[in-house]
Structure 1
Amino acid sequence: MRNLSKFLSATAALAIAASTAAAQAKELKYAHFQAADLASPKQAAALAFETCVEGKTSGGIDVQVYPASQLGDGSQVIEGLQLGTIQMGVVHDGPISAVYKPFAVLAMPYVFDDQAMAWAIMDGAFGKEMFEDMRKETGIRVLGVADNGVRNFTNSKRPVAEPDDMKGLKIRVQTAPVWTRLVESLGASATPVPWPELPGALQQGVVDGQENGVTNIVDASLYQHQKYVSLDGHVFSWHAYMIADAFYEGLTDAEKTAVNQCVEIAKVIHRGMTAAQDANAATILAAKGMEVVPVSPEQKAKFRELSQPAVREFIVGEIGEDWPNKLDAAVAAYRDQ
């Protein structure tokens, strides 16, 4: 009887300890916009991050993943990070550029040769300097970036192989002015539409087309309302792994280390899945019923000649020459290796 009493007391103590630990766990709400499906790079990476952080902190951080824009669009997630109602978000470049203007330099078209160059520059001194500047200006810490896909144009009207084919098309763009300038420089009209509203805008004919990487085209079933895809690869687009700096600074050193290490794991998963889809874009999108329009190097040069000076002029007008020059220098240094 005495042994039973000891057992029950020990069990009760363990239950109380577990309950207390759960109550003291730091809640980390993690928001992103892709579907709650392991085929979605952002979701696969998010679940890996959740498992990794909770394991490394022995449950000291309780990660709660909210996919499919459950906590709002990109702009709302950024606002939540600044208000402290969301602790972590993985948001694409458009909404970030609207809050932290220097991020718009990454919308410079036809800058990066391939993923290897893009990753090296964003993981290197250029990216680190930008992220620290963003933290000071916004109170949001960027822990790393992963691919939002190499962006290509799609539309429901006609094949687009060169800039003249863009004339008269209504193209959806992200909600930052730099993307409007990019599309307008090629002769099309630009309509900013938040991501959650894009499928409806295509279905209803509010816009004729849009520009995104294959991951997002497939993830949101945009191919259902788009007949043509032009593989021009105009911009290497990004998702930033962002955390509210006040929340991050409230973590212990061990918890910070866990978060940093687990973001690295999530980032590799995210990059690998997205890059693989980009590499197989023609096959993937043709299988979805889209007509794939190849863009030759000569035709891509025409897109570059029209868009790059116009977008650069806009970016310099918004943020000055400092960040565009730093990006140019980083690209030159990479090529000189």
Structure 2
Amino acid sequence: MGGTTLKTLNTLLAALLATAAGVAAAQACDVTLRSSDTHPDGYPTVEGVKFMAKQVEEKTNGRVCIEVFPSSQLGEEKDTIEQTQFGVIDMVRASFGSFNNIVPEAQLLSLPYLFRDVEHMYKVMDGPIGQETLVKAFEAHDLVPLAYYDGGSRSFYNSQKPIKSIDDLKGMKFRVMQSDVFVDMMGALGANATPMPYGEVYSAIQTGVIDGAENNYPSFDTSGHAEVAKYYTQDQHLMVPEVVAMSKLSWDKLSPEDQAIVRQAALDSVPVERKLWAEQEKASEEKVKAAGVEIIKDIDKTPFIEAMVPVYEKYVTTPEFKAIVKQIQDTK
């Protein structure tokens, strides 16, 4: 038996075992929807789906329940997305980046400096792009997006100097995720990209193998990177939303009435998750400040954005993609 097949079977077995564990608690429900999240219990995305679950149970008088499985109990994001497509599990909360190889339009949300700020991202995701264009794109791949959560913004941090302009990045070495888009982004900014596993970043900065990395405040804080990288530039080059998506197979089994309840509960959970995320982000920012990190804000992003022209030309290649990107950029 091949390794991939064995891994798939093990993932499906884990899903079945976790489902069985939740049966006793869900016996009173006519319909039980299983929802997966890789983050631990208490994380903003997990709490957002829990709020949604409570709303659904109340509004259906207990007929429909959502069982939330955090901490990758049902598998990692890639595996759980596939399970959701096939209806093995009913719902998944995952980063848009995890859908890049499944829903082509999702790749656009990984473009650097696509969103001007968090408020711009919210307006795009809560407007026609999120509620119409992306819904159709996901449904074409057996997924129904229900809610868009905040996953924070990624910014640069390093051990060498404050980065106040694009010129300060030239020649510096930064760890990035193993993604062609991010490698090309660093090259366009004049820096050197070093893809490496997340767990190796601390020692790589400490020993000078790299100068820095990029991530959001909570990750910068909880990873301990603030101990070895004392300069954080809030350029917010990447804001990739989180999405709560439901299996089209599971969705179609619900009555129109229950579909409306589930969709509204998902929408009602969005401000809850976003508030929790903002609180967590603020707490982490204060913590790294207290640890002696210099935070650089209010930089002129224009040169950074202008440097992305060749990156966009490489990845935004179809008339449809160009129209979507323009609509996003034109959103006020």
* TM-score of the superposed pair, with normalisation by structure 1: 0.77
Q: Structure 1 regions of 5+ residues with no counterpart?
A: 1-18
Residue in structure 2 matching 1:28, options 19, 33, 38: 33
- Given the alignment of the two structures, is residue 115 of structure 1 paired with residue 113 of structure 2, yes or no? no
Matches within 5 A, 1:72-111: 72-111=75-114
Offset at residue 262 of structure 1 (A) = 1.4
Evaluate the alpha carbon distance shift between residue 104 and residue 36 of structure 1 in structure 2; reply closer, same or farther with a 3 A threshold: same
Distance in 2 (alpha carbons) for counterparts of 1:44 and 1:259: 16
Matches within 5 A, 1:1-337: 22=27, 25-37=30-42, 40-166=43-169, 167-173=171-177, 176-190=179-193, 198=198, 200-205=199-204, 209-218=212-221, 223=226, 226-275=229-278, 282-294=285-297, 296-297=299-300, 300-306=301-307, 308-317=308-317, 320-332=318-330, 334-335=331-332
Offset at residue 218 of structure 1 (A) = 4.2
SS in 2 for 1:143: strand
Q: Deviations over 1:29-86 (max 9, x none)?
A: 222233322xx32122122122222222333333222223333332222122123232
Whichever of the two has the greater Rg, that structure is: 1
The aligned amino acid for 1:51 is K
Percent of matched pairs sharing the same residue: 24
The root-mean-square deviation of aligned C-alpha atoms, in Å, is: 3.1
Distance in 1 (alpha carbons) for counterparts of 2:286 and 2:279: 12
Contact 2:174–2:214 under 8 Å retained in 1: no
Corresponding pairs, count: 305
Q: Structure 2 regions of 5+ residues with no counterpart?
A: 1-23
Offset at residue 290 of structure 1 (A) = 3.0
* TM-score of the superposed pair, with normalisation by structure 2: 0.78
Evaluate the alpha carbon distance shift between residue 217 and residue 211 of structure 1 in structure 2; reply closer, same or farther with a 3 A threshold: same
Offset at residue 303 of structure 1 (A) = 1.6
Contact 1:90–1:240 under 8 Å retained in 2: yes
Offset at residue 207 of structure 1 (A) = 6.3
Structure having the larger proportion of residues in helix: 1
